[in-house]
């Protein structure tokens, strides 16, 4: 029997305390800070507190963060989450991260498919949206190929060093 948040290749699962070291490595990779709006490192204690207090209740925390793992052996390959969840308007922002060693294998798209079906069929979301810097062409292409529509460009939206970058707003009506 197929699980709700899995396919033959990937599974999306709740965060576990055993994810601490993986999250610590990913969250503190300064190369990723440009796409995550992170400006300072996370301590193990801060991440432990997050894991310890995280309930996965999207209605209470306005977020649902899941680990993307390989179905065969449970290896974590990334995270995917709803955040800025708005239950009144049935919408949420979506975040997706795939670790560099697993990029280009279709895992991002598969995770997006699993989470989109969950959003529509089990949470009852009407729309999902993402903000993607225009210089992140591969990410833009993946979301647009999946059916997200570019509905606007925010000028000088994201600061990177001493310059500002334009950011696309993409939306999917479910």
pLDDT value, residue 77: 98
pLDDT value, residue 7: 94
- Using an 8 Å Cβ cutoff, are 149 and 132 in contact? no
What are φ and ψ of residue 124, in 5° steps? 80, 25
Report how far residue 129's alpha carbon sits from residue 139's, in angstroms, rounded to the nearest whole number. 13
85: confidence class by pLDDT, cuts 50, 70, 90: very high
Cα-Cα-Cα-Cα torsion 34, 74, 23, 127, nearest 10 degrees, comes to 50
Q: What value, to the nearest 5°, has the Cα angle with vertex 44 and ends 42 and 47?
A: 70
**Number of DSSP helices (H) and strands (E) in the chain, helices first:** 6, 7
pLDDT for 141-174, tens place per residue? 999 999 999 999 999 998 888 999 999 999 999 9
- Domains annotated for the chain, with CATH where assigned, are 10-126 (3.40.630.30)
- For residue 1, is pLDDT > 60? no
What are φ and ψ of residue 131, in 5° steps? -110, 125
Mean pLDDT of the region 77-98? 96
Instruction: Say what percent of the chain tops pLDDT 90.
Output: 79
What are φ and ψ of residue 148, in 5° steps? -70, 145
- Using an 8 Å Cβ cutoff, are 114 and 7 in contact? yes
pLDDT for 48-73, tens place per residue? 998 999 888 999 999 999 999 999 99
13: confidence class by pLDDT, cuts 50, 70, 90: very high
pLDDT for 126-143, tens place per residue? 999 999 999 999 999 999
Instruction: Say what percent of the chain tops pLDDT 70.
Output: 97
Select from 104, 101, 102 the least CA-distant residue to 139.
Answer: 104
pLDDT value, residue 159: 85
Q: Of 41 and 138, which is predicted with more confidence?
A: 138
Report how far residue 115's alpha carbon sits from residue 79's, in angstroms, rounded to the nearest whole number. 11
81: confidence class by pLDDT, cuts 50, 70, 90: very high
pLDDT value, residue 2: 54
Tokens of residue 4, six digits: 């709700």
């Amino acid at each position: 029997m197929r699980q709700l948040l899995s396919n033959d290749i990937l599974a999306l699962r709740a965060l576990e305390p055993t994810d601490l070291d993986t999250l610590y490595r990913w969250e503190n990779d300064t190369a990723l800070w440009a796409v995550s709006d992170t400006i300072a490192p996370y301590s193990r204690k801060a991440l432990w507190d997050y894991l310890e207090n995280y309930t996965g209740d999207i209605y209470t925390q306005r977020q649902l963060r899941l680990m993307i793992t390989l179905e065969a052996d449970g290896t974590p390959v990334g995270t995917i989450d709803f955040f800025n969840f708005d239950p009144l308007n049935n919408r949420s922002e979506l975040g997706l991260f795939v670790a560099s060693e697993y990029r280009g294998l279709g895992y991002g798209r598969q995770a997006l498919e699993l989470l989109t079906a969950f959003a529509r069929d089990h949470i009852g979301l009407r729309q999902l949206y993402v903000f993607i810097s225009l210089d992140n062409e591969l990410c833009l292409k993946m979301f647009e190929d999946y059916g997200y529509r570019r509905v606007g460009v925010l000028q000088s939206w994201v600061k990177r060093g001493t310059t500002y970058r334009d950011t696309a707003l993409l939306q999917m009506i479910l």
